[in-house]
A and B are shown apart, each in its own frame.
Chain A
Amino acid sequence: MVTQLLAIALAMWSLQSLAADSRDSLPGLLEAIKQARHSDGFEVRFAITAVDAQKLRTVPVKIAVIGQANADRQRFLVRGISPDAVRNQHFVAENSAAGPIDAFEYGPDSEGHRISLDPFARLFNTDFVMWDLFAVWWDWPHQIADGNGEVNGRSCLRVKSRPAVPMPVKEVVSCIDRETALALSTQVYDAQHRLRRTIRVEKLMRKGSSEGLMAKKLSILGEHGATSEIDVYGGDEQYRISPETFGVLDRFLGKAN
């Protein structure tokens, strides 16, 4: 009887420990990161201000990003809001379970064309790169924990991600906050292992649903001393994806197929 009770207690303790330790192990943390990205639908609006090497600031570009992501598929729609030059420019892209990313560009009249989602292609003359939204590096086979780091006073775990086959991006180094499973910084290296951009979370805010934190301000340090400052000013964590939201994408894919 006593032995049985002890065994049950031990099993319960082990289960509890496993749950608590899951983010302490790298696979556990990676799984938590992927889970945190899942959403039935969200919209984020942010203002991006590009600052060149001479510290000259551009007029802020406002864009809306609508997304939907689960274990099988991710898709994102980027829409320019202002100024006039970017208004109603759309970029839409989708990938299925670590497959290639299909991307398209179209204007207000929904007419457009396929584009290649270049990991170094800047949108709207800022350092914002659409490829980053997919965070494909979390599905790469080579993931190495590389010690602890710190971003703006928050400690994080450095993780190096490398693809299975040579590609334009040789490595992505992230610093992950264990508590929130958020990447506080992300560094993208090209095939020659040159650092092409660093994305840092400068300020966090609580989600409206109070289920954790999200980025409120980010900075992207690009090449040649240029940076982009991103300020998240609005959005909807429970955006209703309607048939029209990704209708153009579906149409393009239907055409492509």
Chain B
Amino acid sequence: MNLLTLALGNLRRRPARSALTVSAIALGIAAVVALTTIAWGFEVSWQKANDARGTDLIVTRTGSENAMPSPFVGAAVLNQLAHYPHVQDVAGLLSEMLTIGDHSPPIFVFGWAYGSYLWDHLKLLQGRWPADRNEPVVVLGVLAAEMLHKGIGERIELEGQTLEIVGIFQSSALVENGAVLMTLDRAQSITDKPNKVNVLNVKMDKQASEADVSYVKEQVRKTLTGYVAITSGELVSRNAVVRIAKAMSQVTILIASLVGALVVFNTMLMSINERTREIGVLQALGWPRSRVMTMIICESTLLALVGGLIGIAVGVLIATGLEHTELMRGKIDAIYSAPFFAAVLGLSVLLGIGGGLFPARMAARLSPAQALRHE
């Protein structure tokens, strides 16, 4: 018999109350897990896409905070970039969110420079790649093919143009698996953006160091007015949608923490009120204040921990469910990692300690004689 078993026994005394408290915490933690997973997951999937492509730097127009950076004529900028030291290759791309046909939810459509390194990391599962830069064809990511229920030889309508599906590919990046891919020229044609890109991808050579990458960033800042070179992580994290999603997730963390702590606080306060005489007995039997406090905080932490574990499970279910909805499929890569879960559990523990601290101090401060007289 120890403090832990004692704390557990005390929680089991009021199963309904304990269950309600655990549920409240679980809901809050579930919201935190789901929102954070989605917010960070969107960022991660884009990051992975660029890492998979082998892109070291992305050059876009400054102030591009929307989902897709605003388009610009790529040629002049591309030529300048190509001459910087250690720059091995520069490839332009156009990315859009478009609906296919009449009723599908928006899907990523990428136009990549024909023959560029951007295509190298993809694995062709069926069919073939576009034969030339102007061919009116598309290749679908494996997830996109599933979502659109389309296969090789079938046609899709994009912005009034009919395009034949000639291939299905797989990528290590989820966002690419959920996308429609064509040549840059074709993408420029269907979106009526001749010679335009919204991103220039810069690949550095194998000898390039961090300092060389920083040099290119600095050179772009100094010599290409109106443009910025950033890593893919920086681009995505600047994006307004990602920032809003992250802000929402942070606000949720704050609210869930406050509510969780309050719920625990309320539960422990009620519990101590009911057990005033019992606490007096424990003190009479020689329990120091510190042990009384430890017992109370043990109870509150157990509640929060169980709530946290259930909340994580529910949050993962919600995020996984959302990942598979039509709207979100292929767009987010939910991040589940041991450090993340440990952090969430840590938050639960903090909630438990925080919510139980004041009631614990109240309990410990009771005069034994007063407590024993309590009705």
Contacts and interface: CB of A to CB of B under 8 A. Distances in A.
Q: Do A and B bind each other?
A: yes
Contacts of A87: 160
10 A-B pairs with least C-beta separation: A208-B70, A210-B63, A81-B160, A59-B102, A87-B160, A82-B160, A81-B159, A208-B66, A236-B71, A236-B193
8 contacts: A62-B160, A81-B160, A206-B65, A208-B61, A209-B61, A234-B96, A236-B191, A236-B193
Given A62-B159, A233-B106, A47 B66 contact: no
Contacts of A237: 70
A64 B102 contact: no
A246 B63 CA distance: 31
Contacts of B63: 208-211
Contacts of B189: none
Nearest to A245: B192
Interface of B: 61-66, 68-72, 96-99, 102-103, 106, 157, 159-160, 191-194, 196, 240
A60 interface: yes
Interface string A197-237: 00000000111111100000000000000000000011011
A210 B96 contact: no
Contact of B64 (A83, A210, A233, A240): A210
Contacts of B191: 234, 236
Given A62-B160, A81-B160, A234 B98 contact: yes
Which DSSP category, helix, strand, loop or mixed, fits chain B's interface?
loop
Contacts of A81: 159-160
Nearest to B101: A82
Interface in A88-103: 88
A47 B159 contact: no
A126 to B, nearest CB: 15
A43 interface: yes
A83 B157 CA distance: 9
Nearest to A83: B102
Contacts of B160: 62, 80-82, 87-88
A79 to B, nearest CB: 8
A206 B66 contact: yes
Contact of A82 (B64, B69, B70, B159): B159
Nearest to B196: A236
Instruction: Please indicate which of the listed interface residues A45, A62, A82, A205 has the most CB atoms of chain B within 10 Å of its own CB.
Output: A82
Contact of A43 (B64, B102, B103, B192): B192
B160 to A, nearest CB: 4
A206 B68 CA distance: 12
Given A236-B193, A238-B71, 17 more contacts: A43-B192, A47-B99, A59-B103, A62-B160, A81-B159, A82-B157, A82-B160, A83-B102, A87-B160, A206-B65, A208-B63, A233-B99, A234-B96, A234-B98, A234-B191, A238-B70, A238-B72
A125 to B, nearest CB: 15
Given A208-B70, A209-B63, A60 B99 contact: yes
A60 B101 CA distance: 10
Given A81-B159, A206-B240, A233 B97 contact: yes
Instruction: Please indicate which of the listed interface residues B61, B72, B160 has the most CB atoms of chain A within 10 Å of its own CB.
Output: B160
Given A205-B66, A208-B61, A237-B70, A82 B97 contact: no
Contact of A240 (B97, B102, B194): B194
A45 B159 CA distance: 10
Contacts of A47: 99
A43 to B, nearest CB: 6
A76 to B, nearest CB: 15
A28 B194 CA distance: 37
Contacts of A234: 96-98, 191
A210 B65 contact: yes
B148 to A, nearest CB: 16
Contacts of A210: 62-65
Contacts of B62: 210
Interface string A100-117: 000000000000000000
A240 B160 CA distance: 20
A184 to B, nearest CB: 20
B93 to A, nearest CB: 15
Contacts of A240: 194
A81 to B, nearest CB: 4
A88 to B, nearest CB: 7
Contacts of A205: 66
Nearest to B69: A208
A234 B98 CA distance: 8
Nearest to B67: A205
A62 B99 CA distance: 10
A80 B160 CA distance: 8
Contacts of B61: 208-209
Nearest to A242: B194
Contacts of A83: 102
B102 A82 contact: yes
A206 B66 CA distance: 7
A108 to B, nearest CB: 10
Contacts of A59: 102-103
A82 B62 CA distance: 33
